């Protein structure tokens, strides 16, 4: 699939088109826990994998890090975000997070949200390895991804969830259990420092209000109601999320590259 332009067939870009800004499974609440847990300050060199429309980028840039590099695969999204960023030390590169082009051991914080889930397992590991490569020893990697529950989920249910998610969000989503996420990070040399969990409530009204605020929620609802094709797809997504409610969750993990 081309990564030149934004493809609104895909669930996250469709929601973005409807005006949704917070496009990660654990919402703004889990993002804030992750960003605060990373304790970003003006001495940090930060890399963000897959900044997308830049919601987390703006939270990170408020902390005035020494440098910020967003690594975004989609050319159009990368271009749109670059236009919003003006400082010289803050840039967006249009590359894959599996091959960022960033110098080895040159940064001390890496963050990536809702981007590993959509990769096959071997690519998840490549991206985690890239985070490890660019980090200095003692540096931190924070992720926020879609999770599966319980930890020993029946493999048949896991397959069913993955297939049905892929069908409605038009992205090969492969969420993992917390043990699986931690193992992927540990296999590449990371040490787990902190884990947080939030329910996966991306399309629940309560969460949309918390993430987007009252007026943006009204605007999103208006946009959905006035775009019948989008409405049909979003309702299908919501039905699938509701169907698997007991098995879907979201995790934020902070891992350290051992010193």
Ligand X SMILES: C[S@@+](CC[C@H](N)C(=O)[O-])C[C@H]1O[C@@H](n2cnc3c(N)ncnc32)[C@H](O)[C@@H]1O
Contact residue for ligand X among 30, 38, 47, 50 (CB under 6 A): 50
- Asked if residue 52 binds ligand X (CB under 6 A), the reply is yes
Q: Kindly write down the DSSP assignment for every residue of 67-82, as one continuous string.
A: EEEEE-S-HHHHHHHH
| Cβ neighbour number for residue 147 with a 10 Å cutoff | 26
Residue 38 pairs with which residues in a beta bridge?
Answer: none
Q: Is 127 helix (H, G, I), strand (E, B) or coil?
A: helix
- Asked if residue 71 binds ligand X (CB under 6 A), the reply is yes
**Nearest CA to 114 among 55, 158, 42?**
55
- Asked if residue 212 binds ligand X (CB under 6 A), the reply is no
- Asked if residue 73 binds ligand X (CB under 6 A), the reply is yes
Contact residue for ligand X among 98, 161, 220, 254 (CB under 6 A): 98
Are 151 and 143 spatial neighbours (Cβ–Cβ below 8 Å)? Answer: no
- Asked if residue 241 binds ligand X (CB under 6 A), the reply is no
Contact residue for ligand X among 34, 85, 114, 254 (CB under 6 A): 114
- Asked if residue 23 binds ligand X (CB under 6 A), the reply is yes
- Asked if residue 77 binds ligand X (CB under 6 A), the reply is yes
Contact residue for ligand X among 44, 72, 201, 212 (CB under 6 A): 72
How open is the CA angle 170-29-47, to the nearest 5 degrees? 70
Tokens of 43: 């001495």
Q: Tell me the residue number closest to ligand X, measured at CB.
A: 52
**Nearest CA to 40 among 22, 21, 67?**
67
CB of 75 to ligand X, least distance (A): 9
Whether residue 38 is preceded by a cis peptide bond, meaning omega within 30 degrees of 0, is no
How far apart, in Å, are the Cα atoms of 234 and each of 43, 172, 182, 227? Answer: 42, 17, 31, 10
- Asked if residue 202 binds ligand X (CB under 6 A), the reply is no
- Asked if residue 115 binds ligand X (CB under 6 A), the reply is yes
- Binding-site size for ligand X (CB under 6 A) equals 20
Binding mask 147-186 for ligand X (x = CB under 6 A): ----------------------------------------
CB of 163 to ligand X, least distance (A): 19
Query: Quick one: which segment of 73-81, 212-220, 224-232, 238-246 binds ligand X (CB under 6 A)?
Result: 73-81
CB of 218 to ligand X, least distance (A): 21
- Asked if residue 47 binds ligand X (CB under 6 A), the reply is no
CA distance 190 to 212: 33
Beta strands in the chain (DSSP E): 45-49, 67-71, 90-93, 107-113, 135-148, 190-199, 248-257
Residue nearer to ligand X on the CB measure, 51 or 147: 51
Which residues of this protein are in contact with ligand X, per CB under 6 A? 12, 23-24, 49-52, 55, 71-74, 77, 96-98, 113-115, 118
């Amino acid at each position: 699939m081309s990564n030149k332009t934004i493809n609104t067939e895909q669930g996250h870009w469709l929601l973005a088109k409807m005006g949704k800004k917070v496009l990660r499974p654990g919402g703004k609440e889990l993002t804030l826990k992750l960003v605060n847990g990373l304790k970003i300050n003006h001495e940090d060199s930060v890399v963000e994998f897959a900044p997308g429309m830049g919601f987390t980028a703006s939270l990170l840039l408020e902390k005035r890090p020494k440098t910020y590099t967003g690594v975004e695969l989609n050319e159009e999204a990368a271009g749109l975000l670059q236009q919003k960023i003006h400082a010289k030390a803050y840039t967006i590169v249009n590359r894959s997070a599996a091959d960022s082009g960033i110098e080895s051991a040159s940064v001390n914080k890496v963050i990536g949200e809702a981007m590993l889930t959509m990769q096959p397992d071997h690519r998840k590991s490549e991206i985690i390895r890239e985070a490890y490569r660019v980090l200095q020893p003692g540096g931190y990697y924070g992720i926020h991804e879609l999770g599966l529950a319980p930890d020993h989920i029946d493999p048949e249910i896991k397959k069913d969830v993955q297939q049905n998610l892929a069908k409605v969000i038009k992205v090969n989503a492969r969420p993992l259990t917390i043990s699986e996420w931690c193992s992927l990070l540990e296999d590449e040399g990371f040490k787990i420092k902190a884990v947080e969990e939030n329910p996966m409530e991306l399309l629940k009204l309560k969460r949309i209000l918390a993430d987007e605020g009252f007026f943006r929620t009204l605007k999103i609802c208006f946009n959905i109601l006035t775009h019948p094709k989008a409405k049909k797809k979003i309702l299908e997504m919501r039905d699938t999320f509701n169907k698997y409610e007991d098995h879907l969750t979201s995790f934020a993990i902070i891992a350290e590259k051992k010193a």
